[in-house]
Structure 1
Amino acid sequence: MNPTPHPDLTVVGIGADGWSGLPETAREAFRGAEVVLGGPRQLALLPEECRAQRIPWPSPLRAALPGLLTAYSGRRIVVAASGDPMFYGIGRTLTEVLGTPPRVLPHPSSVSYACARLGWGVEDTEVVTLVGRPAARLAAALHDGRRILVLSAGAGTPAEVAALLRARGFGASRMRVLEQLGSPDGERCVEGAAEGWEAPAGDALNVVAVECRRDPGTVRLGAVPGLPDEAYEHDGQLTKRHVRAATLAALAPAPGELLWDIGGGSGSIGIEWMRTHPSCGAVAVERDAVRAGRITANAERLGVPGLRVVTGAAPGVLAQLPAPDAVFIGGGLTAAGLLDACWQALAPGGRLVANTVTLESEALLAQWYRRHGGELVRLAVAHAVPVGTFTGWRQAMPVTQWAVVKTGPAPLNPLTGDDR
């Protein structure tokens, strides 16, 4: 059954073409409104025949929405939104605040307009928004030959995108800045390569189209876990590539899930967890402040600046964290109460993976394996190296890994007193 739209609230998408680009249904909604909420740019597009009281959005918006809607309760409210309100727009926010969706009359989004102008298939184009988000997010989408549309935060975004492309080894990428999409007489396109981008800031209403080209010598980063070790800054505290790939396979990230990466080191496990899907989240716990800073730098460079870093020792700092869907323990296994705290924090179906190279921690994992089952494996990797004029194998330290899926009812968390 479809949810019933909120009776007194309609959200209308409006484009750069303003009133002339709206269908009659959308115009009637504005004419019948008693209150119109929206940004200054959207409100300015409405003609005088719309006699409703016009209220610009307050800042910060989300926190003010409940009080704003309550203040005008009982009156016919129309929200003037940019383009498609359900595409990175106010429609989703209102649905979350109200608990029921408003009536939504969408307009073509900037992505639809941009793909139409460029001749790109929408389904084959990746979209990255930088509206209210750091530009570093773009780095995770950079793959040779891919087409990306960047939703700009303002006139300065194209230069910021060009700088990031150069810094990440994609300076050869072609950029096109599409301004005022949908405007009957104001559309403009500026293009060039990121490596020589010197175009002055233009219109704030723009979308940046990027055709990715990797520069010669740039380390190739794939789309699956197991990035090259040289992609990370580290001091030796790094889960190496082949073990990292096996670890992420055991953790089995899925969209929307949260990971605790305990003993973060260089942050590689949490970073590659988040790179699997834009909605994945991770918290890296690292007691060394220098390493914690390095995790943050690695996360930003590899396109997941949203990775949260907590500087402190586990299990003491775990009580402040949101409940995880999976936990990885890469260090500190023998710390008193650590395994117990992590196990209690997991809900049924949650996964725990722990790696170690020491006999003491291996013995502890063996005990937990006997108690809870799962899979206990030893990962051994050897690399071919020169031996005089010949080639031989150099064995890396073997890694013992315990991976388990929790079963049973949700426990009481001794750290917080809450379920899970």
Structure 2
Amino acid sequence: MNPAPAAPRPDVTVVGIGADGWGGLADTARGVLAGAEVIVGGARQLALLPAECGGERLAWPTPLRPAVPGLIEAHLGRRIAVLASGDPMFYGIGRTLTEVLGAPPRVLPHPSSLSYACARLGWPVEETEVVTLVGRPSARLAAVLHEGRRVLVLSADARTPAEVAALLCDRGFGPSRMRVLEQLGSERETVVEGSVEGSAERWDAAPGDALNVVAVECRRAPGALRLGAVPGLPDSAYEHDGQLTKRHVRAATLGALAPAPGETLWDIGGGSGSIAVEWMRTHPSCRAVSVERDPVRAERIGRNAERLGVPGLKVVTGAAPGVLAQLDCPQAVFIGGGLTAPGLLDACWEALAPGGRLVANTVTLESEALLAEWYRRHGGELVRLAVAHAVPVGGFTGWRQAMPVTQWAVVKPGPPPSPGSVNTPSGAAT
């Protein structure tokens, strides 16, 4: 029996286009668009093309991502050109098409808004932080605010500059210098500049062009809380009711968890969410789920995540281990509360793939005995963390000892999973 013929590969070319439209395209890009039978893009991008591009024009539907496979399938066998703003692989449709097609399409990039903005500002691209607020909450910006840093914000629309200015003032960066660069690369290119303080109201009253990026040179206000780039933020950075892994123990705990880009953490017994928050702050691609059975604390975790720049933190209200089966599997687990709950350690250990890390902290003798038993069975590292703070003693100064914390940290043995494999916890749907 002859094998079935392979399905035809879609003929897709992605063409980056700037605000300067057809005039800014290279001959190769013009040739692709002129010869395309179907041209797909946003309404604004399609309007930039001249009449000589006679292919059928299709505007992307909303939401875009679910529509892509069906749209490509409907036009198999035809030459398809997809328009993208600037560089299609820079927060653009190029990534989505690569995922849908299973291989990268042909891509003809145009200078991105990042390249244009850095060229206008004289900023080195490699030293410029980029945050996109297209379809994402403005709170993400808070995670990259540090004295002296240069940040480019990719705007969702004309209202974004006002949102950025308001957030900077709220997070203690009101003295920052802010510039809004509109219609980059076109004849209508403009730059609007001003101090951040007081500018949110100005942009709210008279928003500029929807096609803009916001450039921020960060300056922290005197007296504003300083948040570093490594775990161990000040305790005062968090809203809490006393259920908080304190700063020095938190730094040691994150060191044992060893977050890496793209990894997922389960933070069980979240309290104030500090471990999950600082895990996610280590890299934009880090993900975390904070499990907290108290609804009031769960809401507080969400507020802390928003305030500290990681609004993507997922908060699950419920008791472990019961709620764990519904979660995506982690590369690391932290247990900060509920250690003696029946089956909790077993469920966490089962969920971890080989090479996954588990860290558990406790201050009680009962939980300490449990950790000692697991240490005897699985090895790892069992340590006691003790911190003392200098406090006034009459007219002198002495030490006040905090409750010591027993910490067990272990790496699950065995070969790590192959790339792309999925680890599913016991009881989870497959």
TM-score (norm 1): 0.97
Partner residue in 2 for 1:99? 102
1:102-251 pair list within 5 angstroms: 102-183=105-186, 185-197=187-199, 198-199=202-203, 200-251=206-257
Q: Is the 8 A contact 1:355 1:399 kept in 2?
A: yes
Work out the CA distance in 1 between the residues paired with 2:197 and 2:399.
42
Q: Is the 8 A contact 2:173 2:219 kept in 1?
A: yes
Work out the CA distance in 1 between the residues paired with 2:24 and 2:352.
51
Q: Is the 8 A contact 1:6 1:103 kept in 2?
A: no
Which SS does the other structure have where 1:29 is aligned? helix
Work out the CA distance in 1 between the residues paired with 2:150 and 2:9.
38
Partner residue in 2 for 1:356? 362
> Residues 280-317 of structure 1: CA distance to partner in whole angstroms, max 9, x if unpaired?
00000000000000000000000000000000000000
Match of 2:389 among 375, 383, 390: 383
Which SS does the other structure have where 1:181 is aligned? coil
Partner residue in 1 for 2:403? 397
Partner residue in 2 for 1:81? 84
Structure 1: segments with no counterpart, 5+ residues: none
Q: Structure 1: which 4+ aligned runs deviate by more than 3 Å? A: 409-413
Partner residue in 1 for 2:37? 34
Match of 2:23 among 20, 23, 30: 20
> Residues 125-149 of structure 1: CA distance to partner in whole angstroms, max 9, x if unpaired?
0000000000000000000110000
Work out the CA distance in 1 between the residues paired with 2:373 and 2:425.
22
> Residues 388-412 of structure 1: CA distance to partner in whole angstroms, max 9, x if unpaired?
0000000000000000000136787
Work out the CA distance in 2 between the residues paired with 1:206 and 1:157.
9
RMSD: 1.2
Match of 2:375 among 358, 369, 376: 369
Q: Is the 8 A contact 2:134 2:154 kept in 1?
A: yes
Match of 2:277 among 271, 277, 302: 271
Q: CA deviation at 1:7?
A: 5.5
Q: CA deviation at 1:80?
A: 0.8
What's the % identity of the aligned pairs?
80
Partner residue in 1 for 2:57? 54
Match of 1:191, as an amino acid? E
Q: CA deviation at 1:417?
A: 6.6
Work out the CA distance in 2 between the residues paired with 1:91 and 1:174.
33
Work out the CA distance in 2 between the residues paired with 1:334 and 1:13.
56
Work out the CA distance in 1 between the residues paired with 2:429 and 2:309.
35
Work out the CA distance in 1 between the residues paired with 2:325 and 2:113.
43
Which SS does the other structure have where 1:111 is aligned? helix
Q: Is the 8 A contact 1:6 1:100 kept in 2?
A: no
Match of 2:333 among 320, 327, 337: 327
Work out the CA distance in 2 between the residues paired with 1:271 and 1:233.
12
Work out the CA distance in 1 between the residues paired with 2:296 and 2:197.
32
Work out the CA distance in 2 between the residues paired with 1:144 and 1:24.
44
Structure 2: segments with no counterpart, 5+ residues: 1-7, 418-422
Q: CA deviation at 1:97?
A: 1.0
> Residues 54-93 of structure 1: CA distance to partner in whole angstroms, max 9, x if unpaired?
0000111111111111111100000011000000000001
Q: Is the 8 A contact 2:10 2:77 kept in 1?
A: no
> Residues 230-249 of structure 1: CA distance to partner in whole angstroms, max 9, x if unpaired?
00000000000000000000
Task: Tell me, yes or no, if structure 1 residue 287 matches structure 2 residue 299.
Answer: no
Work out the CA distance in 2 between the residues paired with 1:7 and 1:359.
63
- How many residues are treated as equivalent by the alignment? 413
Match of 1:341 among 340, 347, 354: 347
Partner residue in 1 for 2:5? none
> Residues 122-181 of structure 1: CA distance to partner in whole angstroms, max 9, x if unpaired?
011000000000000000000011000000000000000000000000011110000000
Task: Tell me, yes or no, if structure 1 residue 8 matches structure 2 residue 8.
Answer: no
Work out the CA distance in 2 between the residues paired with 1:260 and 1:417.
18
Q: Is the 8 A contact 1:6 1:101 kept in 2?
A: no
Work out the CA distance in 2 between the residues paired with 1:163 and 1:414.
46
Task: Tell me, yes or no, if structure 1 residue 312 matches structure 2 residue 318.
Answer: yes
Q: CA deviation at 1:415?
A: 2.2
Q: CA deviation at 1:6?
A: 5.8
Match of 2:240, as an amino acid? H
Partner residue in 1 for 2:3? none
Work out the CA distance in 1 between the residues paired with 2:429 and 2:24.
55
Match of 1:39, as an amino acid? G
